[in-house]
Amino acid sequence: MSSSSPHALTAHWKKFLALGVAALAVVWYFAFAGVAHHENRQALSVLVGSLFWVSILIGMLLLTMITRVFDAGWAPVIRRNWEFMIGALPVVLLLGVVPLAFLPDFRHLLWEWTDVKHILPSGHEVGHDPILQAKSWFLNEKFFLVRISLYVVFFSVLTWAMRTWSFKQDTDRTASHTHTLHAFSAAGIPLGAVALTMLAFDCLMALSYHWFSTMYGVWFFALSIRLALAATVILTYRLSNGGWLDGILNQAHRHVLGCLMLAFTVFWAYISFSQYFLIYTANIPEETFWYNIREIDAATGLKSEWWSVSMYLIFGFFFLPFLSLLFYRTKIIAGRLLTVAWIILVGGLVDLWFNAIPRQVYDKSTPEGFVVTPFLTPYLFLDLAAIIGFGGIVFAIFLRGAAKHETIPVHDPRILESINYHE
């Protein structure tokens, strides 16, 4: 059998699994070591690594449902790869977010409001914080654990449904499965939007419980779709070169993906700017501090290293892909589109760093009473190890699923339209 055949590619799933398990073992070892010394930066590596893949997988899940609802004729040949990938979503949640939330030591270090006995620098307990008291109907430990459990259950059911009926159609050739998936997707999209929003609130925004933004869920949605589209371009490029989609994926498919990448690049920028502009204009301390610690070094009053990261997000994560994708040839030439996809994928990771890592760590030895978690630390390598670890698990599940099912939905009512799709 040719080394470029689909079956040859799927045979590597055990290697990806071994890589993922080994990398996660290292990451979790350091995370537990950090907890022993009351340090949370190592645990943040687990959180960032898992949420990077969660955002990609949720984006693919939403794209799967959206293309089902709108009967997108171009989508079937690409959607099958999304269906293989999203099977990993519950697993990544269970291996990353769930242990952090349910193990008390990790939970209290990352989300300090879950420990009402935690002593603030003022000498008062967290439970006596008036801001937390106002939010306590939502930000309380029991409800937090219930919500995390519901996310796992909800996304597990949703991914199971989207995969099961699609795979059944390959064997029983029943068109009614398409109608079932259409109806299920119509209901799943609004529910998924709510779940995604709450997940962003709980896992990221609640790291700084004083801060709030009603636009945060929309930002996470835009980020998830951008990362999912970028990952799709990279994945389909590799599969096309590996014989999987060779002769099936064409210029028109790349053009659609490129147009969507451009649209959601603009949408991400719009939401990110709107959030910043509204907080800047209102100038409310409970909101502005979140940006202040990401722009200004409190000790010197000068720009901090996180300000440089924010500049990268503006010029590297927005302007560079935006200007590139304005050109038609960028969207249809595989190599150019692949380059932009990698730029977006790296930028999305930096965006997660920007949102998750900076926080005020109380330090009485400083005049300000705190220091901000730095960006350039050796823990960045631990973050990358977490991404590799969860990524190994994701691709193991992807390849294992591809080995058991058709690599394209051969009996989808729109499969011929998708294969022969043209602009």
Size of the chain in residues: 423
Residues of the chain with pLDDT under 70: 1-8, 120-123, 363-365, 367-369
Cα angle 314-378-301, degrees, rounded to a multiple of 5: 50
Q: What is the pLDDT of residue 367?
A: 67
Contact (CB, 8 A) for 375 and 306:
yes
Q: What are phi and psi of 372, to 5 degrees?
A: -100, 135
What is the distance between the terminal CA atoms of the chain, rounded to a whole angstrom?
Answer: 35
Q: Percent of the chain scored above 90 by pLDDT?
A: 80
Residue 256, both tokens: 């659609």
Q: What is the pLDDT of residue 299?
A: 80
Q: What is the pLDDT of residue 122?
A: 62
Closest listed residue to residue 34, CA positions, set 25, 42, 24, 26: 42
Please give the model's pTM, rounded to 2 decimal places: 0.95
Domain residues of the chain, as ranges?
1-210+380-410, 213-376
